[in-house]
Structure formats: C-alpha cells, structure tokens
A and B are shown apart, each in its own frame.
Chain A
Amino acid sequence: MKIEGEHTFNGPRPDVWEMIRDPEVLASALPGTQKLNKLSDMDYEGVMNVRIGPVSGSFSGKLVVSDEVPPESCTLTVDGKGAPGFLKGVGHVKFAEQPDKTTHMTYEGEVTVGGTLASVGQRMIDSVAKSMIRQGFESMDKALEARLANKAGQEVEYKPPTEAQFAVSVAKDMAKSWTQIAEVRMIMYIIPAAIILAIIGYVLSRIMTR
C-alpha cells in the first residue's frame, strides 16, 4: 500500500527537525503509543495500541532512522508485530524551508500489512491511516507551537490528546465519510420514519378500539 502526502509546519526547519527527532513528541503524536524508547540515536522501540474497525490490539515494534541528512530528509523504517497482525513500512521524509519561516514536509512510502488487520480491516485501512496521519500532524503542530512559545519565554502547555479523544476523532472522520453512503443515509431516514409510523399506527389503533 502506498502512502504519500505533505504537511506544512508553522515553524522554521531546524525546530521542526529537532521536534521530529524527539521520541517524547513522536510518542505523544500518535496516541495509543504506550511507550517509545530510544535505544540509540537511530533506533527506537515501542508498544502501540491500534484499532482499525473491529480489529484492535497492541503492537510492539522497532523504528529505525536511516539516510539522515539533517535537517533535510531521512528514511524511517517501521517493523511492528502484535496480536492483530504485523506492519512493515518504509517511508522517506523531506523538509523544505519556506521563505515565510514555515517548513514544508513531504513524505512517501510503502506499507505492508498482514494478519487480522489485513484480512478483516482491509477496507478501513486506507481511511484510518489517513485519519491517524492527520491527527498526528495536528498534534505535532500543537507541540511545535508549545516549543516555539517556550523558546520565546512564554509558558505554554502542550497536552497531547488522550487515547479516548483520538478514538473519537478517528470515528468522526470515518462518520463524515459514512454519511455519504446512500444506504446509510437511507437508514438515517427510514428508522425515524418507521418509528413515527409505528407511533401513528399505535395511536390510531387505540383510537379505533374505543
């Protein structure tokens, strides 16, 4: 499965780079991450809770940073395994400093998913992955804001979203697309209509039997 996209960070490139290489930020950017330990400058290991549709469980895995060209680009290799299946991915990330002191990040990569995640969650993998990425960036934006503010001497607290908030957010993303589906809309109209008809029917029957 190919993943690609871009995101603009509201800060200068050196700060963005520093933030990306901070395991605390990475861990908090993706809630569900139980822990992310730095084994060395290039190796991390951790545990993460994942939920894709009806499939959920915890993954343990390794993250390796390679081909580093700070603060321009690097390659991230992920290898995770758990009860819900396994996940292997390679991604290339590039950062470009923009004239307005923002940083434009582009990423592209290849992910292989296997096990229950693949065989039962297949249809949702795409949308959940996109949602997770969006959430992650949102969270990192806040973290970046807090960092820059702290640097400037202001007290700004960065509170990473909790797992519950994250799940709600993903569900909202999914729901947005759900209401586009004709059948779901039909149900949304039919159920209230059926209830109203049932009530009318009941009231009428009571009137008739008098």
Chain B
Amino acid sequence: MERKYIGKPIKRIEDPRLLTGQALFTDDVHLHGMLHAAFLRSDYAHARIKSIDISEALKLPGVVAIYTAEDFGDYWHVGPLQVPPPIAIPGAKFHAKGLPPIAKDKVRFSGEPLVVVVAINRYIAEDAAGEIIVDMEPLDVVTDLEKAWEDTSVLVHEDIGTNMAALVKQEKGNFADAAAQADVVIKRKFYVDRGASGAMENRGLIASWDNRTQNMTIWTNNQAPIPLRNTCAANLGLSDSQVHVITAFTGGGFGPKIMTSQADDVLLPWISMKLCKPVKWIEDRRENFLATTSERDQIHYCEIALTKEGKILGFSDIFYHNTGAYDPYGMTIPLNTMTHTMGSYFVPNFYTEVRMVFTNTMVVSPVRGAGRMYGNYVMERMIDAAAREMKIDLVELRRRNLIQPDAFPFRTGITGQDFVENVLDSGNYPETVRKAAEMIGYEKFVKEEQPKLRAQGKKVGIGFVTFVEGTGVGPYEGAKVTVENSGKVNVATGISTQGQGHYTSFAQIVSEQLSVEPKDVRVTTGDTDQFDWGAGTFASRGMTVAGTAIHLAAVAVRKKILKLASKVLETPEDELEIEGGVVRVADLPGKSISLGNLASRSNPTRGVVEPGVEPGLEATAYYGPPYGATGQGAVAMILEVDPETFEVKIQRFVLVHDAGTVINPMIVEGQIMGGVQMGIGNAFYEELAYDEYGQLQNASLMDYLIPAATEMPPKMELGHVVSPSPLNPLGLKGVGEAGAIPTPACFHQAIENALENKIEITSSPMSPSRLFALTRK
C-alpha cells in the first residue's frame, strides 16, 4: 500500500520557529514579580553537617529568603523512587535509597544541595550563597566499586550496614555445564565508563503559585511532565487539576531530564506557595556536570565458552555497577546491560550477575543507551578476543552466531527494565550484517587496501560490530486527536519532546489517516492540561508507544468521520473517500463535505442528538505493548591512528539499521547521527573524572571533551533494513539510542586492528595517552 505521508522525509514543521528564535524555551519565560533561586552545594563528597550559618547571607539587599532542610519542616522527605524495585526477578536484593531534595544531617556526594537562596535576581542569589558558612565534618570517601562492595569501613548509608545497593542474578540454561563442554574458554576483565548527557540546554524549572486562583503552573524541560505533576500535587496536597505542567521547547534531553523528585521540582513549588511569587531556577553548566545525573562506571568479569568451530556455547558476566550515592532510578541501567549482552547472537547458556554499589559520587541514571552500551561492549570485545585467539575472521565469527530470521519471536530468558522477559520481536540480523559489510567494502579493505596502507607505514584499521536496541517499552501512552471546525486537526499526547521532531512525525501519522496536510496538524506534547495520562519520554519509546496511540486515535476519528459523513451525504461508507481535507463520494466528486463543516455538524449547539453518540470528531486512544520492540543493526568504521600522537581520525563510518517501519527517514538519520556522536564521545573523549576524594575534576566544557564536528567522521553512510514489529499496527520500533550503543566497541576494535593487534583494549574510554601507555606495556 503506497503511503502518502508515512515514510516521507518531510521537513520539520517546528524548524522555522526554532531557527529564527521564535520558540519558547524554559529560560525565555519571564513572569511578573518572578524571583530567582540558587543552590549552595556541598564541596565535600562525604561529610556530616554540623551547622549552617545564613546570617551574613540574609543581610545582602535583594535576598528574599533562604531555606535549609530544617526550614522545610515536615515537607522534607526522601524520594520517592522513580522506578520500582526489581521484585519481579526471583532472589533479587535491593536497598531503596531515594534522593533527598536537599541534604539533611549528612551529604553523600559532592554537589549535593545544602541551601536554597531566593533573591530578586540570580547574581544576588549566588553572591548570597557565597556568604553562607557551612560547618562540616568531612568523612572518609568511597569511590572504588569493588572496594565499596567488600569493605564496610566506609558506609554511604550507615543504616543498612553495607554499600550494596542491589544484587540481582539471572541465568538461562547452565553456564558451568557449557564451559565444561567447550573447546575454548576465554576470560577477561573490562572497565567501562560513560559520561554526562551534555545537553546544550540544562535543567530548568519555574514554579508559579497563584494564590487567588489556587493554581500552580510549572514550566519545565522535563522528560516526564505527567509524573512530575502528579508527584508535585501529591507533595503539596493539591488536586492533580490544580497543577499545570507545561513543557517548553527543550534543547536536548538524553536521559537526565527524566529525573523527577529532584531539588528543583520538589522545593521550588513549595517555595512559590510560601512566598506567593513565581520562582525560577536555571542550572548552570558546572551544576549540570556536578549535580545532574549521569551514567558512569561498571566493572565486568566475563567468560565466553565456544566450540572449536566458533559457536558460542555460553557467556558469563559478573559485573559491578555504580549507582552513586542514592538509587532513585532503580535497576533500569543494569537490567538493560543484562538484556543487551547476548545482543544479536544465539547464546544458549547465559549467566549474568549485577552487584550494584553505593559510592560517594553523583547519582547515576540513564544517559542515551541507558546501560545497553555496556552489554554490547563486553560481548563484542569478548568475541574479538575469541576471534584473535582462534584466528577466525571477526565478521565471520559473528555471522556464525547470529540469531536467524526464522527464530522470531525469540525469547531470551532474561528479564529487562520493564520487568518482563525480553523477547526479540522481529528482525533480519544476517541481512544487516551482510549489508554493512558490503557498504564498507570489508573484504576488499582487508585483503587489498589495508595491506597497501600498512606497507606505507599507515596505521589504518577497520572495526565491525553488531548491536540490538530494546525500545518501545511499556507501560503505555495515550493520545487525543480532534478535527476542529477550521478543518485542521489537533493532537495532544502526554510525552514531551526534546528535539526529536515529534511535531512533524506525529503529524505524519495523523495525516496518513485523515488526509490533512502535516502543517495543518497541530501537535501538543508535554502539556498536562491538554493530556494527562502517560509515563514520559525514555527508552526510545516516543514514536513506538505514543505514536501508536496517536495512530489508533486517528483511526478511530476516521471511523467517526466516515460514519457521520455517510449520514450527511446519504451514501454508504464504503463509497466514501477522504482526500485533501474533504470527504466525498468516490464517483461523484461534487458530492462532498469539508472536514471542518463535518466537525461543526458533529457538535450542534441546539436540537437533539442520538443516544450513545459522542460529540465532535474526536477520539482518545491508549496503547501499551506486551514487551518492547527490539531494533538491530551493524556498525563498521575505518579509522587511522597517528603512530606518534595516537590521535584518531575516522575515515569512514557505516551504520545499517533496522528500526521497523520508518515514519520520517530524515528524522531517523538525525537521531542515529546524534547517537553516534555520543558513542564516539564515550569511546575516546568523554569521561567524568572523579578523584579518590569524590571530587569531580572536569566540571566544565573546557575539560569535559564533547566531540565536535572535527572528531566526527567526514560522512555517515547509513543503510536501512525494515523488519516491521508485529507488536503494533504500524510496525514501529524506536531508534533514538541506536548510534550510542555499538560505537565504542567498534571504535576500539578498529584501533586494535589499526595497531595490528599489538595491544588489547579492555577499558573505555580510551584516549591518546592511554593508547600510548598500552603500547608501552
């Protein structure tokens, strides 16, 4: 069936406004009488608070109020957890430690908020914060994961007597038996670190309590506006309908903006209510690095067991995961690591164990990839180690172990972040591998080009890995589609948008059903007054889950249109068609009615209506998948390593991707490229450098290296395979995190290949100096 709108690279409707500075971002909001908040944050990573003296700060003219934990009285409370504990997994041990909005008695990470200062402008608020004297008794700090697990002499949370945040084990088959039967067993230890999200726009929130209307309005750039509203209302004892959360345009989310129950969304509404004035807080870059969540280190002990033909019999992975000082986001990241380790491969026996540890560092929560990258990294590196030892070609060894197209739906036997068994819904893994190898010219490069380059003394290498991406997880999303009297269509859904083009791609889905041009479909996301049921934007689920809900609502509206038009035009429904904003009889184009007219007819202001009929051409629909849809792909790259400086230049980059049905190929390409940039960062440039005292040493863009255009490949060659998902009517899968997941493993493999396997890389990120050190070993 030829589609008119779906699958077309339509230019984004929201771009003209964004590019000409006409879009509203949170910081653009200025309200009459608005006050500004600044936080005083702890320098120490672990300390007892003895006293806080705000007297000098209060004297500064322009300071309106200063609050410590005590000043919030009973309102001060820990948490709640944003993600529930993993009770679905048998034997799981979990210590729930929600995030306190502001530190009381003890600080557990450098950057933890101590005091909120409210003043007439941010400058005065920060000056006042500088006048506050906090007397703290520094305690010993624990930052090393293995030490934190074994040693109880330094405890982040004394009341539980351990630094164990969680212990979860899952097994499919029996790894010990597999290892006993194998011809080859290889063991490795990996240290894998990621980094900050580095969104161009930082967190921000404006809380405005109007005492006369008894309503709270919150402007924010949060990825979960509905949970934020619900928690806020519950905290303040208000009705959900009294709190209105508006998500302005957002300059990138990538994960950390999903966090609710943080200092800003808990404390600022309370302060606004107390002072009866709007209060605004915009995070600065240093605060973002120090005190907004990031995704950090894991240590993996892996074993892979293979037959001498290179068939994987089993894989074992015992790993430590750093959750930081608290664990408000539950086990999402390590569960994603667990479900993504086996990847595209058939692994009949798999054992995975996570030891989640509290440390005196910032809280860890998902950043694009959300734990998937670690699983991918260790499996791909282990396969490379096996290929090296068994002298089998890297791509061939992977081919021999791919899950075949007839195996779907493929049950993996491992429970994931949505607390159900991870099932691979559809895919054609051999095809993505074949296509990627063909696009990069693998055979030709390895056999002809590389030897020539090596003879010239150039260190050029090729990398090739595969990956899977779990997307579109539940619980559900909803949407409302309405045809208005103007003939234009209004769409509202609960998730919010961070720049992934929802205003366009969602419009395309509706246009396909209602034959209204995308520019005449108005999409509203993240406004709780327009739609207030849903969970949020995370796990690459916006298009799959909210998009499907929008599709179902549009389908229902189309039915209503045809039913009413059939009555009005006195023609059976099957002889009607909708085209160009008009419903008409197929063979009699003169006999028609515009959608706008029909909408007016559907909502009379006088007369009587038939019983059971709903007014308007409107429908609300909800969609929740039984499990997430899994995308897959293969990445290949060719890069050159400078033999003296060990700087790396990417020469070619190929990514073949299967994300099911593609709504807007241009937007998908953008998403993939953005993910690749973050993957390149994680491979070679980005790292949050905490020292052993829990001090972050690079909390600025001077020292935290986000890849610029100069670090990117000159061109990204993207290929597509389409295996529609059977889980939703349009066959959609998510794609937002795809680029970030496989890139580090491919990057490191290519470096090893460039250096002719004289080194083995077992930690990420690498850097020129680390490479140099490895070559000197």
Contact = CB atoms under 8 A, between A and B. Distances in A.
Nearest to B40: A83
Interface in A107-122: 112-116, 118-120, 122
A119 B44 contact: no
Contacts of B698: 119, 122
Contact of A118 (B129, B130, B695, B702): B695
A85 interface: yes
Q: Which of B45, B290, B700 has the most CB of A within 10 A?
A: B700
B475 to A, nearest CB: 38
Interface string B694-705: 011111101100
A182 to B, nearest CB: 12
A113 B695 contact: yes
A112 B697 contact: no
A119 B130 contact: no
Contact of A120 (B43, B45, B110, B700): B700
Q: Which of A85, A86, A119 has the most CB of B within 10 A?
A: A119
Nearest to B698: A122
Interface string B663-699: 0000000000000000000000000000101011111
Contacts of B700: 119-120
B503 interface: no
B703 A112 contact: no
A85 B693 CA distance: 13
B289 interface: yes
A81 B138 CA distance: 12
Contact of B286 (A81, A83, A116, A122): A116
A201 interface: no
A113 B694 CA distance: 11
A57 B130 contact: yes
Interface bin, chain B = 10 to 19
- Dominant secondary structure of chain B at its interface with chain A: loop
Interface string A27-64: 00000000000000000000000000000010000000
A21 interface: no
A118 B44 contact: no
B703 A122 contact: yes
A119 B130 CA distance: 17
Q: Which of B130, B286, B697, B703 has the most CB of A within 10 A?
A: B697
Contact of A86 (B44, B699, B703): B44
A119 B693 contact: no
A172 interface: no
Interface string B267-284: 000000000000000000
A118 B696 contact: yes
Contacts of B129: 83
B693 A112 contact: yes
A123 interface: yes
Contacts of A114: 43-45, 110, 693, 695
Interface string B282-295: 00001001100000
A119 B289 CA distance: 9
Interface in A88-130: 112-116, 118-120, 122-123
Contacts of B286: 116, 119-120
Interface string B94-137: 00000000000000001000000000000000000110000000
A128 B29 CA distance: 41
Given A85-B43, A114-B695, A123 B702 contact: yes
A88 to B, nearest CB: 8
A168 to B, nearest CB: 23
Contacts of B699: 119-120
A114 B703 CA distance: 16
A119 B702 contact: no
A119 B691 CA distance: 10
A10 to B, nearest CB: 38
Nearest to A122: B697
Contacts of A57: 130
Contact of B703 (A81, A83, A116, A123): A123
A114 B43 CA distance: 6
A114 B109 CA distance: 12
A113 B286 CA distance: 16
Contacts of B703: 122-123
A147 to B, nearest CB: 37
Q: Which of A113, A115, A116 has the most CB of B within 10 A?
A: A115
A125 to B, nearest CB: 9
A86 B693 contact: no
Nearest to B290: A119
A121 to B, nearest CB: 9
A116 B691 CA distance: 14
Contacts of A118: 691, 695-697
A83 B130 contact: yes
Contacts of B702: 120, 123
Q: Which of B129, B691, B695, B698 has the most CB of A within 10 A?
A: B695
Contacts of A122: 697-698, 703
B135 to A, nearest CB: 9
Interface string B534-560: 000000000000000000000000000
A11 to B, nearest CB: 38
A78 B483 CA distance: 72
A86 B134 CA distance: 12
Given A114-B110, A119-B696, A86 B130 contact: no
Interface in B692-732: 693, 695-700, 702-703
A19 B691 CA distance: 37
B697 A86 contact: no
B714 to A, nearest CB: 22
A115 B43 contact: yes
Nearest to B696: A119
A111 to B, nearest CB: 11
Contacts of B289: 119
A115 B694 CA distance: 10
Interface string A66-86: 000000000000000101011
Contacts of B43: 81, 85-86, 114-116
Contacts of A119: 286, 289-290, 695-700
A120 B43 CA distance: 13
Contacts of A83: 129-130
Contacts of A112: 693, 695
Contacts of A116: 43, 286
Q: Which of A81, A83, A114 has the most CB of B within 10 A?
A: A114
A193 to B, nearest CB: 22
Q: Which of A86, A112, A116, A122 has the most CB of B within 10 A?
A: A122
A7 to B, nearest CB: 28
Nearest to B43: A115
Nearest to B697: A122
Q: Which of A85, A112, A118, A123 has the most CB of B within 10 A?
A: A118
A196 B597 CA distance: 68
Contacts of A113: 695
A75 to B, nearest CB: 20
Nearest to A57: B130
A115 B110 CA distance: 8
A108 to B, nearest CB: 19
A122 B695 CA distance: 11
Nearest to A113: B695
A103 B286 CA distance: 45
A69 to B, nearest CB: 29
Contacts of B44: 86, 114
Given A83-B130, A115-B695, A118-B695, 4 more contacts: A112-B693, A119-B698, A120-B702, A122-B698
28 contacts: A57-B130, A83-B129, A83-B130, A85-B43, A86-B43, A86-B44, A112-B693, A113-B695, A114-B43, A114-B45, A114-B693, A115-B43, A115-B110, A115-B695, A116-B43, A116-B286, A118-B691, A119-B286, A119-B289, A119-B695, A119-B698, A119-B700, A120-B286, A120-B702, A122-B697, A122-B703, A123-B702, A123-B703
In the complex, the 7 A-B pairs of residues with the closest C-beta atoms, listed nearest first: A115-B43, A119-B699, A83-B130, A114-B695, A122-B697, A118-B695, A114-B43
